[in-house]
Amino acid sequence: MLDFFTIFSKGGLVLWCFQGVSDSCTGPVNALIRSVLLQERGGNNSFTHEALTLKYKLDNQFELVFVVGFQKILTLTYVDKLIDDVHRLFRDKYRTEIQQHSALSLLNGTFDFQNDFLRLLREAEESSKIRAPTTMKKFEDSDKAKKPVRSMIETRGEKPKEKAKNSKKKGAKKEGSDGPLATSKAVPAEKSGLPAGPENGVELSKEELIRRKREEFIQKHGRGTEKSSKSAKSDAPKEKGKKAPRVWELGGCANKEVLDYSAPTANGTPEAALSEDINLIRGTGPRGQLQDLDCSSSDDEGAAPNSTKPSATKGTLGGMFGMLKGLVGSKSLRREDMESVLDKMRDHLIAKNVAADIAVQLCESVANKLEGKVMGTFSTVTSTVKQALQESLVQILQPQRRVDMLRDIMDAQRRQRPYVVTFCGVNGVGKSTNLAKISFWLLENGFSVLIAACDTFRAGAVEQLRTHTRRLSALHPPENHGGRTMVQLFEKGYGKDAAGIAMEAIAFARNQGFDVVLVDTAGRMQDNAPLMTALAKLITVNTPDLVLFVGEALVGNEAVDQLVKFNRALADHSMAQTPRLIDGIVLTKFDTIDDKVGAAISMTYITSKPIVFVGTGQTYCDLRSLNAKAVVAALMKA
């Protein structure tokens, strides 16, 4: 039973609607528009919203959308046939009115599609019931029944025909083979004491025996000389690479002043080296302001003067979109016209580090968006598909919700509570380093930061944060802020409960008046159930304002697996009715990938969450905000 069937234009005008139940279809259809149609995720024609499954079909020529909704616990096999039949009948019946006027003219005149729809629904339901059950195959129809009984009987002492044939073929190969392979295979027969003769499949003359023994003698002595030469070569570098013993100035006296190679210190801190380190770790970027990400590489600058050369020098294929140069004219696009371009496009996206499944869905979404669309006179298939893909990628990188941390922190200040951010991710992606970068950015904007060391698992994690805190305190000493401590580390050592440490840190920040609490967590693989349970507990107990997933820009297909399993684990192990999932993404090591920026597309497509920060280096100023158009330009570059 269908819950509803509706037809509306891409401009949002509802032309006709069928209600199978009393519930309104407005909520599910709006969710479909927000999550799929506006986000360019039309690769799959199915969408699940709460207890309903929605299937849809796009008519790009007349800019119409056909949507059917039914309960997801039902298995309705006729839905695809029904939506195709309704689409075909509606186009044929109202083609002239839509072409001459617009979809609005259907509402102004006498428009009745109810009887036609009920007839098609009745036919679709009956066709699904008429299907005859599949009958099992009988023994008489099988290949085994056609074999005679004699061919299945085997007597003792007789080899099967296939084995006998194989043995004959092997014997023939041995007889007909000449050269070192045949002689080397015949050596074990002599060693085992078997006579060489026609009964063993080997016939050797005296000359061949002499030649074989001579080859064996040469091989034995040749190997010995090779081993000796190798050993001589291997010993030579060892002698060269020997470390010279240290010459002690005072004749072996272990004097502390002579052995101390560290910088001179005052009050336990190297004062002279500290000023140089501050300029080194701060970087040269603008203070307190996030620059947009620049994806242009050095190759682009070098290639600019040579841009006047013919396009054949760009590659054997002439770039990604160097095919299908014919003009289409004023005709509607078919899927066959786009297949070769889409195949090239899919391979190009995968080469740019986009996950394979995501690349397939993107190309399918572009095909569904363009199928049936009427092109201009001077438009090519290549340019049309390329422009559609660029628009889809920009739309994907600009998700529904935009995270503005500074605005949210000021809102939390008015409520007199700290703003809590939790960082999570797999091992070795740079959570602590980018937490320090974000701390520096917040300090430059005048907010005080408390860093909670909740990574009680990895050795050296607390010491790493302690070093960052000391350097950040040197960059923003209390003297420059009226005696107020701007950055502080909250630590309880190793082996403790991370959720409890985070709770104490938030309470400490509330009492001491800190603006932001940054919670560092232990790195964990997405398949580690105990650690994922601990992370879900930390997030559920402390309810942070922002949960950031830290991921590498180097990953390809692994990005999909990490994000899907992190979200699934947070949902499964959460104790709340509405579990808290990932709110945003921090993309690290972006300076190491050149133009292979596909991880940004994969992560955003999977989660529908924005990329809040992008890490581009080792200094505190190497933090950027995502520029969607620059990323797409780098992604589409051939």
- Highest mean pLDDT pick, 3-17, 141-155, 224-238: 3-17
Q: What is the mean pLDDT of residues 200-223?
A: 71
List of domains in the chain: 2-129 (3.30.450.60), 332-397 (no CATH), 405-627 (3.40.50.300)
Confidence of residue 106 (pLDDT cuts 50, 70, 90): low
CA dist., res. 452 & res. 249, Å (int): 48
CA dist., res. 381 & res. 329, Å (int): 10
pLDDT of residue 23 exceeding 60: yes
- Angstrom CA distances, 420 to 412, 431, 550, 607, stand at 10, 16, 16, 21
Q: What is the mean pLDDT of residues 579-584?
A: 88
Amino acid at 21: V
- DSSP code per residue over 475-518: HS-GGGGTT---EEEE---SSS-HHHHHHHHHHHHHHHT-SEEE
Q: By 3-state DSSP, what share of the chain in percent is helix, strand and coil, each rounded to 5?
A: 50, 15, 35
Would you tell me how many other CB atoms lie within 10 Å of the CB of residue 578? Answer: 7
Contact between residue 214 and residue 221 where contact means Cβ atoms under 8 Å apart: no
Write out pLDDT tens, residues 325-341.
444 445 678 888 888 89
Beta-sheet pairing, 546-552 with 291-292: unpaired
Amino acid at 214: R
Write out pLDDT tens, residues 441-470.
999 999 999 999 999 888 889 999 999 999
Contact between residue 61 and residue 374 where contact means Cβ atoms under 8 Å apart: yes
Q: Listing from the earlier edge strand, what are the strands of the sheet with 487-490?
A: 291-292, 623-625, 611-615, 584-588, 546-552, 419-425, 516-520, 449-453, 487-490
CA dist., res. 627 & res. 636, Å (int): 15
Dihedral angle over CA of 243, 247, 253, 257, nearest 10: -90
pLDDT of residue 301 exceeding 50: no
Confidence of residue 555 (pLDDT cuts 50, 70, 90): confident
pLDDT of residue 223 exceeding 80: no
pTM exceeds cut of 0.75 = no
At 400 the three-state DSSP class reads coil
> Which pLDDT score, from 0 to 100, does residue 182 have?
42
Confidence of residue 529 (pLDDT cuts 50, 70, 90): confident
Residues 6+ apart with CB under 8 A from 272: 263, 264
> Which pLDDT score, from 0 to 100, does residue 138 have?
76
Contact between residue 396 and residue 604 where contact means Cβ atoms under 8 Å apart: yes
Angle formed by the axes of helices 180-191 and 206-240, nearest 10°: 100
> Which pLDDT score, from 0 to 100, does residue 107 have?
63
Confidence of residue 321 (pLDDT cuts 50, 70, 90): very low
> Which pLDDT score, from 0 to 100, does residue 242 have?
53
| CB neighbour class for 337 (10 Å; exposed up to 12, middle 13-18, buried from 19) | buried
State which H helix or E strand residue 6 sits in.
strand 4-9
The two structure tokens encoding residue 587: 């993309």
Q: Which of 101-105, 345-349, 463-467, 611-615 has the lowest mean pLDDT?
A: 101-105
Confidence of residue 261 (pLDDT cuts 50, 70, 90): very low
CA dist., res. 505 & res. 573, Å (int): 23
The mean pLDDT value of the chain amounts to 76
Q: What is the mean pLDDT of residues 166-188?
A: 45
Confidence of residue 270 (pLDDT cuts 50, 70, 90): very low
Contact between residue 54 and residue 67 where contact means Cβ atoms under 8 Å apart: yes
pLDDT of residue 606 exceeding 80: yes
Confidence of residue 384 (pLDDT cuts 50, 70, 90): confident
CA dist., res. 638 & res. 635, Å (int): 8
> How much of the chain, in percent, has pLDDT values that exceed 90?
20
pLDDT of residue 86 exceeding 70: yes
> Which pLDDT score, from 0 to 100, does residue 183 have?
43
Write out pLDDT tens, residues 461-503.
999 999 999 999 999 999 988 888 999 999 998 888 999 999 9
Would you tell me how many other CB atoms lie within 10 Å of the CB of residue 384? Answer: 20
- Highest mean pLDDT pick, 22-31, 64-73, 95-104, 328-337: 64-73
> Which pLDDT score, from 0 to 100, does residue 177 have?
44
Beta bridge partners of 46: 55
At 4 the three-state DSSP class reads strand
